[in-house]
Amino acid sequence: MLFKKNGLFTGKDAEKVVEWMSAHPGEGELIVMAKGVTSEAKRRLWDYARAVRLMADMTGEERSVKVEILEGFVSDKVKGLDVGELEL
């Protein structure tokens, strides 16, 4: 799933995205497109991907989440969820 923010993507935004991804376990890809991304937000996203992989290993499932972070440009033409519209 693609998440867009026309500004700085913060740790609070990452928390919203992780919450959304947790509610949709079928999603295998998490892409963030923002003008800038804080190191705290990057760490939260990568920790989430590691946690999904660890839990899958413990339960014997085949599940993982690929995280991609695109900084610098936010396209209005690309479809995705606006992080500002997500609620915690």
Residues 53 and 67 sit within 8 Å (Cβ to Cβ)? no
- Domain ranges in the chain are 2-75
pLDDT in tens, 24-78: 989 999 999 999 999 999 999 999 999 999 999 999 988 999 999 999 989 888 8
Residue in the block written with tokens 């690309």: 78
Residues 26 and 65 sit within 8 Å (Cβ to Cβ)? no
Which two three-digit tokens encode residue 45?
A: 């996203």
Q: Flag whether pLDDT at 84 surpasses 90.
A: no
78: part of which helix (H) or strand (E)? none
pLDDT of residue 38: 97
